[in-house]
Amino acid sequence: MAHEDRFTIDLGQPELNINILPRLAIRYKGSFQKLLSERKYKADVANDLQWFHKNVPCREACPVGTNARAYVTAIAKGDYQEAYLVARENNPFVSVCGKICNAPCEPVCTRSKLDEPVSIRALKGFAVEKNRLGTREVYQWLNKKKGKVSLAGKAEVPNIAIVGAGPAGLSAAHDLALMGYKVKLLEASSQPGGMLNNAIPAFRLDREAVKRDIEGILSLGMELEINTRCGEDFGIDELRQKYDAVLLAAGLQKGRSLDVPGMELAGVSQGLDFLKEVASRGRASLGTKVVVVGGGSMAVEVARTARRLGVWNTKVTVVSYEASRGTKPGKPGQEMTAEDTEIAEALQEGVVFYPGLGPRRILGEGGRVTGLELVPVVALDRDGGGRYKPVFGQNGSSVIEADTVLLAIGQEPDTALLQNTNCGVRIAESRILHSEFRIPGADGVFVCGDLAGAGHVVEAVASGQKAALAIHNYLEGKGSLGLGELRPVVPVHHHEKSDTFTKRLTIGRILPPIAPTDARLRGMDPVEGSYSEKVARRQAERCLDCTVSPMIGPYHPCTACGDCLDVCPTECLSLRFMNNKDLSFGDSCIEEAEGEGPWVGLIINEEECVHCGACAEACWSDAIYMVKFKEME
């Protein structure tokens, strides 16, 4: 951000906020007195947005760019309707994400530098529950917020076919319909929603949340055809002839198999097929000694579902190549990918975990599985297709009894999707090869969602949105919806924060309530409850509001007293000796510094700053003050 009092210094660290003391004899372009009297900031918009985006890490980490800070602070003020609209603006699956989003925003939350992150995902769910607007009213609001979009000047509105009505396909359909395109969704199953309805257990994802989001999307008027399968009922080449563009969003419909002896035994099946059967029929065939192989969310969901179907007489064990969480820091690919809360709840429900082990073979008698021979995993790599290639230890094998083995070691595309097509679609590493969501060699064919590498629901939503924009550009449309995009920011006022900061520090993180273990195991009812209004507002007040930042200015020169350093809770402030060669002024209002130094500079490391305002309060010369940056409407 190129303010007149904010410069860049290269000390081998992130971008830093720096003040050069008056002894540098800096020459300003223009009137120094005018600069002091107007107290304005000349900002380069491109750099301004880049700096502002990084200064609010929760928003930067969100695949769809949700302005989490804004809806959290709205909840803190009691403005629940505003909170919902902000969360909904660029996420058509806001209800679903309020329940099962993997929340990449939370690990990077500034509050986590002090204790624990803000409960961003759960607060989104609270905002959804407090929404009182109907679908029509929400879209009236969205139509006012969206950017100017125009379609190419053709006689007819372009027609787009989307194969797959899961979160990626529906998100793409949502954006394309808002732009004005005709959209047809082709879904293989009996209902839209993909894995949201067909596989994710109801105890994790309330079906009413799924229904609410899907009904809102379909209200835009796109056509939906169910029970029609690509590769059987129609082919991609056929769609290319009928439609102006084709989007493949069918997801990964097959579970991966193990390359070990015994796979053919009765009782060995795919965890994904098990979840689909339970979702459709409410039950599935199951023994009393169930072993689930896998270390991700699906493996834990399979295990927890098996516990609910068998309850007290069923022993459920999870065996994973990956080590347990937190045992191999810095090597996330070597640890279980299931979320900590999922694992903790599974343990409460009686699931047993054997991490860091892998099956050497599946044992059986009379053609039916009786157990697994397990060996320790000493190293874990992947092959070109993304499959695990574990390196087993030479000693320490053991046998675990099992009458049911459910595999949940990953998913892959169903190659039947590509039958009856010659357009050059190629699959590698469990995804369709593409460039910016366009499939090379297949003019007018695009891909999104799991087939394009998206993993979690919010990533699938983002993938669908990006694919929709790629289709819009391919069809020579102009503009974009721009929902959720950063707008130019302006400093609106000075604001001291240290008083509220101190109060916020006393508020600990509280997760939403969960049902007692006994009640959970009696059925498929949702496990997680909701915040009360009082608790939600208190949890929202934990947000440190990263749009308010300390600024070092020339108006009241710093005296290098060090008082700000003494009170900084994260020690992000420092006084440094530096020479002229250390400074990079760029296009700021400063031409040069006379001489070679050394001089003293006050530096703020913005990656460590928690925006508390303690430095501004401690600065007796007012060289540091707090500035709030607001996006322009």
∠ CA 467-469-475, rounded to 5°: 105
Which band of pLDDT confidence, cut at 50, 70 and 90, is reported for residue 389? confident
- Tell me how far CA of residue 240 lies from CA of 36, 173, 177, in angstroms: 63, 17, 19
Phi-psi region of 437 (alpha: psi -120 to 50; beta: other; left: phi over 0): left
Strand runs labelled E in 249-311: 254-255, 268-270, 289-293
pLDDT at 515 over 90: yes
pLDDT at 421 over 90: no
Distance CA 331, CA 324 (A): 12
Please provide the size of the chain in residues: 633
Q: Is the dihedral of CA 38, 44, 45, 47 positive or negative?
A: negative
Q: Dig out the tokens for 627 from the structure.
A: 């500035």
Average the pLDDT over 156-185 and give the result. Answer: 97
| Across 162-176, 460-474, 549-563, least confident range | 549-563
3-state secondary structure of 514: strand
**pLDDT tens readout for residues 278-335:** 999 999 999 999 999 999 999 999 999 999 997 678 999 999 999 998 888 877 778 8
Higher pLDDT, 557 or 221: 221
Distance CA 172, CA 307 (A): 36
Q: What is the pLDDT of residue 18?
A: 40
CB 379 within 8 Å of CB 390: yes
Residues whose CB falls within 8 Å of the CB of residue 495, separated by 6 or more in sequence, listed in order = 548, 613, 626, 627, 628
Distance CA 55, CA 14 (A): 12
Q: Dig out the tokens for 563 from the structure.
A: 């008082």
Average the pLDDT over 480-508 and give the result. Answer: 81
Q: What is the pLDDT of residue 7?
A: 36
Of 99, 98, 102, nearest to 87 by C-alpha is 98
Mean pLDDT in the chain? Answer: 86
CB 186 within 8 Å of CB 162: yes
| Across 42-51, 111-120, 389-398, least confident range | 42-51
Residues whose CB falls within 8 Å of the CB of residue 42, separated by 6 or more in sequence, listed in order = 2, 3, 4, 589
Going by the DSSP 8-state scheme, the letter that residue 439 receives in this structure is P
Q: What is the pLDDT of residue 554?
A: 60
Of 493, 623, 619, nearest to 567 by C-alpha is 619
**pLDDT tens readout for residues 443-490:** 999 999 999 988 899 999 999 999 999 999 999 999 999 998 888 787
Q: For every residue of 181-207, which 3-state class applies, written as one string?
A: CEEEEECCCCCCCCHHHHCCCCCCCCH
Environment class of 465 (CB within 10 Å of its CB; exposed 0-12, middle 13-18, buried 19+): buried
pLDDT cut 70: percent of the chain above it:
86
Q: What is the pLDDT of residue 495?
A: 66
pLDDT at 217 over 90: yes
Distance CA 169, CA 591 (A): 53
Distance CA 520, CA 528 (A): 10
Environment class of 531 (CB within 10 Å of its CB; exposed 0-12, middle 13-18, buried 19+): buried
Distance CA 382, CA 334 (A): 11
Q: Dig out the tokens for 578 from the structure.
A: 């530096």
Q: What is the pLDDT of residue 600?
A: 67
Average the pLDDT over 562-566 and give the result. Answer: 91
Phi-psi region of 258 (alpha: psi -120 to 50; beta: other; left: phi over 0): beta
Which band of pLDDT confidence, cut at 50, 70 and 90, is reported for residue 388? confident
Average the pLDDT over 382-408 and give the result. Answer: 85
Which band of pLDDT confidence, cut at 50, 70 and 90, is reported for residue 624? confident
Which band of pLDDT confidence, cut at 50, 70 and 90, is reported for residue 276? very high
DSSP bridge pairs for 163: 186, 248
Average the pLDDT over 93-106 and give the result. Answer: 96
Residue at 140: amino acid letter: Q
Q: Which range, 28-32, 295-299, 569-573, is most confident?
A: 295-299
| H helices, E strands: number in the chain | 21, 30
CB 589 within 8 Å of CB 35: yes
Distance CA 265, CA 408 (A): 17
Distance CA 54, CA 203 (A): 36
pLDDT at 247 over 90: yes
Which band of pLDDT confidence, cut at 50, 70 and 90, is reported for residue 120? very high
pLDDT at 29 over 60: no
Q: What is the pLDDT of residue 3?
A: 35
Q: For every residue of 462-496, which 3-state class applies, written as one string?
A: HHHHHHHHHHHHHCCCEECCCCCCCCCEEEEEECC
Structural domains of the chain ordered from first start: 8-54+547-631 (3.30.70.20), 57-137+485-540 (1.10.1060), 156-253+413-479 (3.50.50.60), 256-410 (3.50.50.60)
Q: What is the pLDDT of residue 367?
A: 96
pLDDT at 5 over 60: no
Environment class of 394 (CB within 10 Å of its CB; exposed 0-12, middle 13-18, buried 19+): exposed
Average the pLDDT over 65-79 and give the result. Answer: 96
pLDDT at 442 over 80: yes
Q: What is the pLDDT of residue 594?
A: 52
3-state secondary structure of 161: strand
Q: Dig out the tokens for 100 from the structure.
A: 């099962």
Distance CA 627, CA 490 (A): 10
pLDDT at 227 over 70: yes
Going by the DSSP 8-state scheme, the letter that residue 209 receives in this structure is H
Q: Which helix (H) or strand (E) holds 600?
A: strand 599-605
Q: Which range, 81-85, 258-262, 375-379, 597-601, is most confident?
A: 81-85
Distance CA 554, CA 27 (A): 12
CB 572 within 8 Å of CB 608: yes
pLDDT at 420 over 80: no
CB 261 within 8 Å of CB 361: yes
Residues whose CB falls within 8 Å of the CB of residue 415, separated by 6 or more in sequence, listed in order = 427
